[in-house]
Structure formats: C-alpha cells, structure tokens
C-alpha cells in the first residue's frame, strides 16, 4: 500500500508539473487514434528517404522527451516540404520541448543563408532565436545571392556585436534581403558604439557602392551624425 501510494504521489506531481509548463495533460481513459500520422515510429520513414534535411528534422523531434510534444513536432515535419539544415541546427540547440516545436514550425519551408543562422544561434534565449529565424527567412523578391556577398556577412557581424537581442534584431532587419554591402562602409558603421546609430548607419549603406577614399574620409569624422551623413551624401563616389 505504501508503494502504491508513493507511486500515485509521483504520478500526480508529474501531471502538476506538466500543467505548470503549459504542456498538454495526460489523457485519462482510451486514447483517440487519429490515423498513422499521429504514430511516431522513427524506424518508419519511407516517405522521406533520401532527403537529409527532413531526416535532420526527424532527429530533432526524436530528442524531445515528452510524447505530446514529440508527436506535435512530427506533425509539423510531415506537413513541411523542406527545411534548412543550418536553421535546424539552431532549433536542435534549444532545450525546452515546446520551444523546439515552435522553432521547427517557424523554419518549415523557409530558406536561410549560413550567416543569418549563425547570428540566430548566438541569441541568448529561445524566444530570441525563434524571432531571429522568423525575421531572417528569405522572402519572395529577396536576392539569395546576397547571402554569399562578403559585405553582407560583414554587416551581419556588425549587428552581432550589439549586446541586446532587441537591438540586434533591429540591426539584422536592415541586413535581411540585401544584395550587397560595401565592406569599407560597413567598417565605418561597425565602429559606431551606439546600437541605434549603428543600425541607422547599416540601413543607409545597404545596397550602395562606396569608393575607398570616401569611406576613409567619413571614418575620420569624429561625430556620429556627421559620419552617417557623410556616408549618406557620398554613396556612389
């Protein structure tokens, strides 16, 4: 009797903890079966054979501890057409199951460049990582070639140096979808110490060419507003 009582106490405590974390409660009585899509069997993946990114997504789901979250993750993957393997690496590093499911859902059928996912992986909290992935996904009309431009990567690194996540996301919003950046102009922006001014500077030099003489002069100007105005007025020279 003492053993049964202790087991019941532990079961009730586990249900209470699941309730506090906002997860679905364990069902009492018969479990309703909705069909084969609700059955998680990692050995039955015939639908996805040959797609490494889908396989990676399934592995992310497998690592989830709670069955309800694991099944929801699997449903997200089965509805998706493709995944970015780099973005899946960000989701796989998130510790909490419900955040993992939200992350996998956020990146389904979205494309990313390696620079953008690197920045998102460096965000401190799961909410910030997911918000970054949503923001940095390529949209219709974006130039995917810009992701390979070294100036774009330099601009992302300038944003990475901003300490607070909200300010970092504002800066990254100026980089997303850009075709190119002048690396010399980005260097001028990167040296600006204040997040708002740095973000404004990145937005001004986006997709605009600069000669080395112009950026050298603008860099030498001591005051931030004058430095940014120099870049704004002298693009293309």
In this predicted model, what pLDDT tens digit does every residue of 24-33 receive, in sequence order? 333 333 323 2
Q: Of 146, 228, 137, nearest to 189 (Cα)?
A: 228
166 CB-side CA count, 13 A:
1
Where do the H-state alpha helices sit in 124-222?
Answer: 126-136, 150-160, 165-175, 183-190, 195-205, 212-220
Query: From residue 78, how far is each of 49, 175, 198, 234 by CA, in Å?
Result: 13, 32, 41, 51
Query: From residue 141, how far is each of 103, 137, 234 by CA, in Å?
Result: 24, 12, 27
Sign of the four-CA dihedral 218, 159, 172, 181? positive
| Torsions phi, psi for 188 (to 5 deg) | -60, -45
Q: What is the mean pLDDT of the chain?
A: 81
Summarize the confidence of residues 88-101 as an average pLDDT: 95
Tell whether the model's pLDDT for residue 44 goes beyond 50.
no
Largest CA distance in the chain: 86
Q: How far apart are CA 130 and CA 161, in angstroms?
A: 19
What pLDDT is stored for residue 94 in this prediction? 95
pLDDT, one tens digit per residue, over 54-92 is 999 999 999 999 899 999 999 999 999 999 999 999 999
State percent of the chain over pLDDT 70.
75
pLDDT-derived band at 16 (thresholds 50, 70, 90) equals very low
Tell whether the model's pLDDT for residue 194 goes beyond 70.
yes
What pLDDT is stored for residue 149 in this prediction? 82
Neighbours of 224 (CB within 10 A): 17
pLDDT, one tens digit per residue, over 144-168 is 555 568 999 999 999 999 999 999 9
State percent of the chain over pLDDT 90.
65
pLDDT, one tens digit per residue, over 129-139 is 999 999 999 88
Q: Which of 32-46, 85-99, 178-192 has the lowest mean pLDDT?
A: 32-46
């Amino acid at each position: 009797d003492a053993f049964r009582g202790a087991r019941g106490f532990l079961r009730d405590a586990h249900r209470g903890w699941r309730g506090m974390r906002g997860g679905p409660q364990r069902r009492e009585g018969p479990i309703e079966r909705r069909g084969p899509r609700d059955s998680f069997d990692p050995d039955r993946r015939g639908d996805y054979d040959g797609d490494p990114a889908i396989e990676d997504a399934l592995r992310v789901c497998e690592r989830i501890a709670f069955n309800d979250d694991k099944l929801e993750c699997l449903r997200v993957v089965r509805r998706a057409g493709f995944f970015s393997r780099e973005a899946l690496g960000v989701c796989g590093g998130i510790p909490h199951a419900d955040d993992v499911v939200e992350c996998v859902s956020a990146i389904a059928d979205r494309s990313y460049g390696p620079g953008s996912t690197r920045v998102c992986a460096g965000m401190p909290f799961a909410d910030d990582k997911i918000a970054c992935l949503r923001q940095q996904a390529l949209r219709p009309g974006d130039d995917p070639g810009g992701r390979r431009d070294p100036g774009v990567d330099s601009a992302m690194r300038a944003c990475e140096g901003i300490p607070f996540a909200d300010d970092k996301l504002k800066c990254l919003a100026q980089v997303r979808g850009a075709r190119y950046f002048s690396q010399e102009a980005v260097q001028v922006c990167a040296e600006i110490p204040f997040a708002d001014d740095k973000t404004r500077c990145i937005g001004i030099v986006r997709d605009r060419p600069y000669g080395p003489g112009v950026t050298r002069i603008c860099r030498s100007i001591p005051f931030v507003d004058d430095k940014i105005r120099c870049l704004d007025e002298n693009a293309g020279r």
